[in-house]
Structure 1
Amino acid sequence: MTTPQPPRRRDAAENRAGILIAAVAVLADDPHASVEEIARAAGLSRRAFYGHFDDREAVVRAVLGAGAERFNAIAQAVSDDDPRRALAQLARGLWDEAQHVHVAVAIALDERHGPLTAQALAPVRARLAEICERGYAQRVLRRDVPPEVTARLVEEAARGVITHVDPEISRTHRLPERAVLAAAGLGWHEIDELIGER
């Protein structure tokens, strides 16, 4: 029989949350920021940092995990019956969230963290696959390739917009929606009508 552990002290939980918030802000300015810089931004010592995280990589992984939870929640909230509108909603929701943690997203998509990110974002991928399968069955998304290929094309289009396109251009021209819908086989005029632009 295991002995119940005493509840974690409130200040310890607050310190850990403060480290995560500081890590997002510091990494946004410098993706290579050190443990010292993250701890300083959280108002803590290196020793306090290491009381919560084994190393810099551990805090980066925690930041990525928290971001993945938010992305997964966005994907689950997409409910439009029209797969085209569902894709547009998914793209807009993920883009809006990514803008708050843009550098963390870039880190999540780099080669080193790719496998971790893929695992953490499995619910987003599952939702995307389901939308593409419905769109294929309803003949409203591309049918020249299988739906799993369409889902991959959409994912790569979204990755390109998130990591390489100026946020103001994306917002003004609604590039997240346009990129994923074009990858899913829609023409520009159809996209204009779907997202309410002429």
Structure 2
Amino acid sequence: MTTLDPAPRRPRRDARENRAGILVAATETIARDPHASIDAIARSAGLTRRALYGHFEDRDALIREVVASGARRFNDIALRVDDSDPRLALARLASLLWQEASHVQVAAAIALDDAHVHQTADALAPLRRTVVAIVRRGQDDDLLRTDVAAPTLARLIEETARAVITRMDASSPEARSLAVRAVLSIAGMSWREADALLNAHPEVLV
């Protein structure tokens, strides 16, 4: 009689839920403190340090997963922006990213940590390519500032958005609008031009 090898066991439902809970707790905890300890993250997740290590071998492994998870969300958002007007595309991208406030904040926090800067850059490469493409199109159409090369301007836009994100309360009613306007400003639009654009497309901030 032939004995079949047992099929690989799938992770138990509670194990999957615990892992997901750890990632949520890590995201929220690191958004508040980029250098939060594994103990702090475990407490936030309602688990012991030992239980957390049952899912991630160390803090770096957990951080890598947090970065990867956030980057996937960011990169998916970038794929959804297809406005023909590069100014509108930039505004919509900034607004949609703001909707993912907790993930944006944790990515910004981790990106400010030198230990993870290269990993963050690699994970967000698709999003960054999208921003560069939007900027280059805007420069070609003479709609965005042309005194700075597209890759440099895209990085300035990223740094401006990150500065707003890390210094403002995401729950503030005006925070999202300010973030979008700051991006448009560094891209070369006056506050009046930004105001006109957003008034013509109120759905961007809805």
TM-score by length of 1: 0.85
Change (3 A) 1:21 1:81: same
Question: Aligned partners of 1:101 and 1:133: how far apart in 2?
Answer: 24
Question: Aligned partners of 1:89 and 1:52: how far apart in 2?
Answer: 37
- How many angstroms does 1:31 deviate by? 4.0
Alignment partner for residue 197 of structure 2, among 178, 181, 194? 194
Question: Aligned partners of 1:12 and 1:165: how far apart in 2?
Answer: 35
1:36 corresponds to: 39
Please state if 1:11 is matched with 2:7: no
Question: Aligned partners of 2:59 and 2:153: how far apart in 1?
Answer: 36
Question: Aligned partners of 2:146 and 2:165: how far apart in 1?
Answer: 26
> Mean Cα displacement is larger for which, 112-121 or 154-163?
154-163
- Aligned-partner residue type, residue 128 of structure 1: V
Change (3 A) 1:145 1:168: same
- Aligned-partner residue type, residue 108 of structure 1: A
Q: What are the Cα deviations for residues 78-102 of structure 1, in whole angstroms up to 9, with x where unaligned?
A: 1111000000011111122134563
Q: Is the 8 A contact 1:158 1:176 kept in 2?
A: yes
- How many angstroms does 1:174 deviate by? 1.4
Question: Aligned partners of 2:22 and 2:172: how far apart in 1?
Answer: 32
Alignment of 1:82-161 (within 5 A): 82-99=85-102, 102-161=105-164
> Mean Cα displacement is larger for which, 78-87 or 159-168?
159-168
- Aligned-partner residue type, residue 130 of structure 1: A
TM-score by length of 2: 0.82
2:55 corresponds to: 52
- How many angstroms does 1:150 deviate by? 2.0
Q: Secondary structure at the residue paired with 2:100?
A: helix
- Aligned-partner residue type, residue 11 of structure 1: D
> Mean Cα displacement is larger for which, 149-158 or 160-169?
160-169
Question: Aligned partners of 1:170 and 1:156: how far apart in 2?
Answer: 22
Q: Which runs of 5+ in 1 are unaligned?
A: none
Q: Is the 8 A contact 1:154 1:180 kept in 2?
A: yes
1:180 corresponds to: 183
Two-structure CA RMSD over aligned residues (Å): 2.5
Question: Aligned partners of 1:179 and 1:112: how far apart in 2?
Answer: 28
Identity %: 53
- How many angstroms does 1:169 deviate by? 6.0
Q: What are the Cα deviations for residues 130-174 of structure 1, in whole angstroms up to 9, with x where unaligned?
A: 101111121111122332222122122112211234446672571
